[in-house]
Amino acid sequence: MKNTSMTETIIQQELSKCVKCGSCMSVCPIYRQTGREEMVARGKLVLIKHLLEKDGSEQEKLSDFYRQAVDYCLLCHSCEENCSKNVKITEIIKAARREIIAETGLHPVKKFLFAILPGKSGRLKTLVKVGSWLRLLAWRSLPAGSGLRRRLPMPLIDDQTVIPNLPKKNLDDQLRKRPVCRQTRRPAPGKRPRLLYFPGCATRYLTPEVGMQTIMVLEKLGFETVVPESWACCGAVTEAAGDQKSADQLQEKNLRVMAAADDDLTLVVTGCATCGHTLKSYPLPEGIKVMDISEFLYEQREKLSKLLQGKTIKKKITYHDPCHLRKGQGITAQPRWLLRLIAGDNFVELRHPERCCGSGGSFGVTHKSLSRQILAEKIADLKDSKAQIIASGCPGCLIQINEGIQNADLNVTTDHPITLLAQLLSSREG
């Protein structure tokens, strides 16, 4: 790293705040699995600080060890949540990754993944559609249910990998049949209030039914939902990897969508914890506000309670806190209120609902073994809870947890809270 930029000056100021107390060690999911000092925040910060203070020859000598330490981080914010000095640890790690990427380039897997993101190209849409047809040919003899296990050797896919059921039609395809959701003109006086819905890549292309359920719930609450097809990926995964250029490009595309919206479209609602965390970090246009769906529904709690009319789901439900919702946005009470409304006394807490599931965006792809070790903790907690459903407000977490459930042969389903709510609102019986 060079020591001249304003960003690095800020980083040095943050580094100086760390007193090396080790409180981060008790909450770091990677440290719990490895026990290695350089894998915990304190160790990483020592390495980064040391590198900033040394010349180029010493930097080169440290590079391999240093790069691995910086790469082994889920950016789950657990250390920050537990830091008494409020050190901006994730921002420091991101800055260190930007420096590494500038020198060595992206990991080949990440380079491929980022190239197909919406807003970078249209290839993700095509790949999912092709995958939905390949699934019928390659996996037709395997169990369907909530996912399919791939038992033939493929790059990045082993015999424990659970492939989500890939839809033939994505959310955009389905919305084209519903003109009300694509309306962009300002409504006439007396019409329903409108809001913008940001589905995120996973909902848009992998679980479009969750997007349609979200829209249905919002409509039942009296809101008209506008879903611009020009939304791009939020950029979280590229920023986390150190690809700031791509993250900035994606952010700019989404900011243009917001800026072009009608004057009455000032609220952006998303059902993805990671997208919400990222969108809230944007330099938002004046008057624009971003809310997680659980935040929004909590504001509508009186109306929602009346719509449900006391109906509840009769299965035991538990909840996993997405890192970007709990630690990134400080949202914990609202999703629990919603699940208690949905399940009543059937809602139970996990022993450690706050612990990361090990997904971490691309981390679960590039560090699969360690990711699964972390996931095993979550699955053990889930098994102990005796729950029949585990809910979470992050599509990535749901995919990761579902893989763990399938491999542990547990009779548990994974659902977004909005799915459970939509099922209740559509049912005729409680």
* Boundaries of every domain in the chain: 6-105, 310-426
230: Cα within 13 Å, side-chain hemisphere: 12
Q: What are the structure tokens assigned to 293, written together? A: 């769906």
- Please name the CATH architecture into which domain 6-105 falls: Orthogonal Bundle (1.10)
- Please name the CATH architecture into which domain 310-426 falls: 3-Layer(aba) Sandwich (3.40)
Q: What are phi and psi of 149, to 5 degrees?
A: -95, 135
How far does CA 330 lie from the centroid of its chain?
A: 15
- Decide: 401 and 414 in contact? Cβ < 8 Å: yes
DSSP letter assigned to residue 390: E
At which residue do the structure tokens 């719509």 appear? 307
End-to-end, the C-alpha distance of the chain in Å comes to 60
At which residue do the structure tokens 């020591």 appear? 3
> Rg of the chain over CA atoms, in angstroms?
22
Name residue 167's amino acid: P
Distance CA 57, CA 1 (A): 12
- Decide: 228 and 255 in contact? Cβ < 8 Å: no
Residue 115 CB coordination number (10 Å): 13
Q: What are the structure tokens assigned to 420, written together? A: 């459970």
Beta bridge partners of 317: 347, 389
DSSP secondary structure letters along 121-175 = -SHHHHHHHHHHHHHHHHSTTS--TT-EE--S-BTTB-TTPEEPPPPSS-HHHHH
- Decide: 135 and 163 in contact? Cβ < 8 Å: yes
**Greatest extent of the chain over all pairs of C-alpha atoms, in Å:** 71
Whether the model clears a pTM of 0.85, i.e. scores above it, the answer is: yes
Kindly list the strands in the beta sheet with 389-391, ordered across the sheet, starting from the edge strand earlier in the chain.
317-319, 389-391, 413-415
Distance CA 100, CA 12 (A): 17
pLDDT per position in the chain (430 positions), as tens?
444 454 677 788 999 999 999 999 999 999 999 999 999 999 999 999 988 887 555 555 557 899 999 999 999 999 999 999 999 999 999 999 998 988 888 777 677 666 666 665 555 565 555 455 444 444 444 444 445 544 444 555 666 777 777 788 899 999 988 754 444 444 455 578 999 999 999 999 999 999 999 999 999 999 999 999 999 999 999 999 999 999 999 999 999 999 999 999 999 999 999 999 999 999 999 999 999 999 999 999 999 999 998 899 999 999 999 999 999 999 999 999 999 999 999 999 999 999 999 998 888 888 999 999 999 999 999 999 999 999 999 999 999 999 999 999 999 999 999 999 999 999 854 4
- Domains 6-105 and 310-426 equal at CATH topology level: no
